[in-house]
Amino acid sequence: MASTDSIVSWLAVGAFSFLALHISLEKIQAVFRRRNLPPGPPRRLLRDNRADVPVSHFWKTFASWHKRYGPVVSFYLGQTLVIGEDSSLKPSDYVKFDNTIIEVLGTAEAAHDLLDKRGEFYSGRPRQIVGHEILSGGMRGIGMSYGPRYRRWKSFMQAGLNNTAVLKYRPLQSLECSLLIRDLLNSKAPLEYKAHIRRFVVSVIFCVGYGRRVKDLSDPVVVKNMEIGEYFIKVHVPGKFLVESWPSLLYLPRFLQWFRWEPERHRKLDTELYMSLMNDVKRQIAENTAQPSMAVHSLAKQEEFGLSDEEIAYALSAPWAGGVGTTVAAIEVFLLAMILFPAVQKKAQAEIDAVGRTPGFEDYEVLPYVQALIKEVTRWRCIAPTGVPHSTSQDDVYQGMFIPKGATVYANIYAMTTDPEQFPDGDEFRPERFLDNPQLRNYSIPFGFGRRLCPGQHVALQTLFISIVRILWAFEILPGVDDKGEVVIPSPDSFTSGLVVGPTPFPCRFEPRHSTTVEIVHNEAEGAEI
């Protein structure tokens, strides 16, 4: 008996020793792997580089690090959670705490190698407890972790926004652009153009999502969507919610989780609006009055997508969330560039004038310089400098550098679009670079990478094309004047800061180019009235 007990004891000791050795080796291996992290700024107290990252225009700091440390940079940010792969995990699944490792990719080559070629495990999202899980119920695609739910959402978006599907939105985009040109013609105040551009973009987005046009920005549905967007940005302010750093607070009884109260109230209001918009389309389908839209397409194939009514309602809100601010900012960048580079404006107008009439989508192929100009608009001053961060779902090694599971990965689009090797004289607005270099033919850097590539890029490019080509056809785009009548030349570098950036307000004038322009513009707008 004693001999048997001795054997059991030795087996227990051996098993425990083996387990301890295994854990120790794992820890030692992890330490050595982390020594091979990509280079970056020196680690500060508690390995936190928060003080090195400015709140405003941080992508420019990242770009300076790329020049010093190379195309892939890493640093630590705060004592927080190492992120799991699946947003449906329970609080108990998140038990490992460490400093979040931030990886920044500064060249298109690095982004292509990791986010495109290894997209299977570079397509996650950092966990967002309040903004995604509580406020959005996990139903906004932008915050979904990569998995079955995200793939269903992506299939839904691609079906309504692929390069063939978007062709059916062109007639409404063209009508809305006719109203935009009329509104710009009638502008009186130097900043009035901003509201006209926003109304145009909002109406196009509603046409795409719901087949519904918007007459003015005071429409209650527009106002409610604006409020939703403002609150969505508010809840994503870093450090606003303690639960993001201490997810164990989710163990509290639900009625004590104070951080839920306001977001859940907003979620109820959001859901009511989205369901109302979708049900309006259902009614129009029943009455045979529905216009082509993502809603019409998705409701006809709801079972194929495997999405509930509520999931479809939230998915239909994505074009607004991802498309309004970005498209407005891009058009304003175009206006800024035309003021600062009038020779480019003249060259594009000469190409457009050869069409011999009001240009439209049917003229796209005969306007290569305008196509290049649009690409240069998205490059010269990119409006989403880092995009939305990715996260890794497993450890990886890239060119000898260790990238751990749970790392937050930024694609520094600003650094890529100003890379002097690929874009010499990057501060110059020069569309010719896209005509001279065949390697840039499929340029799409501003729209992201891999399995997180922006699903709305085709409709966005259509909107940019029709608005830019018509504005150039109709107007001389000139700098505005101040109260004393003196010309105000805007700064090329004065931009807002955030996930989406745009030029700070600058005055702009729109002078009709020809004696017949005014009559043509009014006639076309009359036929496009809502």
> Annotated binding site: which residue ranges?
454
CB of 370 closer than 8 Å to CB of 378: no
Q: Position 46: which residue type?
A: L
> Which H helix or E strand runs over 390?
strand 390-391
Annotated binding site for heme: 454
Cα 92 to Cα 516: distance, rounded to the nearest angstrom = 70
The H-or-E segment that residue 103 falls in is: strand 97-105
b or e along 276-302 (b: 16 or more beta carbons within 10 Å of the residue's beta carbon)?
ebbebbeebeeeeebbbbbbbbbbeee
Please give the Cα distance from 299 to 309 (Å, whole number): 9
Which residue from 154, 179, 233, 171 is spatially nearest to 207, judged by alpha carbons? 171
For 526, half-sphere exposure in the C-beta direction (CA atoms, 13 angstrom radius) is 6
Distance of CA 268 to the CA centre of its chain: 25
Closest by Cα among 408, 410, 392, 398 to 36: 398
Contacts of 359 (CB under 8 A, 6+ apart): 352, 367, 469, 470, 473
Q: What angle do CA 170, 173, 176 make, to 5 degrees?
A: 150
Task: Please name the helix (run of DSSP H) or strand (run of DSSP E) that holds residue 401, with its range, or none.
Answer: strand 401-403
Q: Max CA-CA distance within the chain?
A: 111
Q: How many residues does the chain have?
A: 530
- What is the SS3 assignment for 454? coil
Amino acid making up residue 249: L
Tokens of 63: 């770009």
Q: Which residues make Cβ contacts (< 8 Å) with residue 329, sequence separation at least 6?
A: 383, 500, 501, 502, 503
In the block, which residue shows the tokens 């891009």? 330
Cross-strand bridge partners of residue 481: 487
d(Cα 74, Cα 68) in Å, to the nearest integer? 12
Q: Are 167 and 297 in contact (CB under 8 A)?
A: no
